Amino acid sequence: MRRFLDGLYQTSGVFAAVALAAIAVLVLSQTLGRLLGVLVPSANELAGYCVAASAFLGLAPTLNDGGHIRVRLVADHVPPAVGWWLEAFCLAVGTGLAIFAAWYAVDLVVGSYRYGDVSPGLLAIPLWIPQTAMAAGLVIFAVSLIDNLLTLLRGGSPAYGEH
């Protein structure tokens, strides 16, 4: 199970990196297109979708690599047992919020697919496609928080604590 979860987080990070590379390609193609008098349809819109995809798909791998900003001002000045409870509480609250956000993101994707929502730009892109990256990122982030919470509750150190 550990190998599957680590692979899931790494795959999410790879897709986030691909989305970042796609932003660079879109911006470069739009810039070159302007110089050459060629229209690159909906490049700004597509780049915006890639920004969202990179942000949401990057949540879980960033958490596990210790890249999220964590304020340990209180936790560093309390006894270790209190710090453990504080860490568990924060992970539990974060997990609840991530599950809440993931639930509604998936609901948004299903609704957009069901109603046939499309983007308003030159290219009529079905909105469920870019929304899927957001929903997937939030689901994987929730799984990562659950994973770290269970690791902590079992007496281990969360993945982000190792960095």
Nearest to 70 by CA among 6, 141, 161, 149: 161
Q: Give me the number of domains the chain comprises.
A: 1
Taking the C-alpha atoms of residue 113 and residue 31, their distance in angstroms, rounded to an integer, is 32
pLDDT confidence of residue 152: 94
Q: How many CB atoms lie within 10 A of CB 18?
A: 14
pLDDT category, 160, cuts 50, 70, 90?
A: confident
**Average pLDDT for residues 12-37, to the nearest whole number?**
95
Taking the C-alpha atoms of residue 16 and residue 65, their distance in angstroms, rounded to an integer, is 14
163 belongs to a structural domain: no
Residue type, 45: E
**Average pLDDT for residues 99-125, to the nearest whole number?**
95
Q: For residue 114, what are its two tokens?
A: 């069901």
Q: Which residue has the tokens 């692979």?
A: 7
**Average pLDDT for residues 5-27, to the nearest whole number?**
96
100 belongs to a structural domain: yes
146 belongs to a structural domain: yes
Could you tell me which residues come within 8 angstroms of residue 31 by beta carbon, excluding any fewer than 6 positions away?
Answer: none
Of the given ranges (75-89, 93-107, 108-122), which has the lowest mean pLDDT? 75-89
Distance of CA 148 to the CA centre of its chain: 16
Q: What is the extent of the structural domain holding 28?
A: 2-158
Taking the C-alpha atoms of residue 1 and residue 155, their distance in angstroms, rounded to an integer, is 18
pLDDT confidence of residue 83: 87
Nearest to 123 by CA among 63, 16, 39, 55: 39
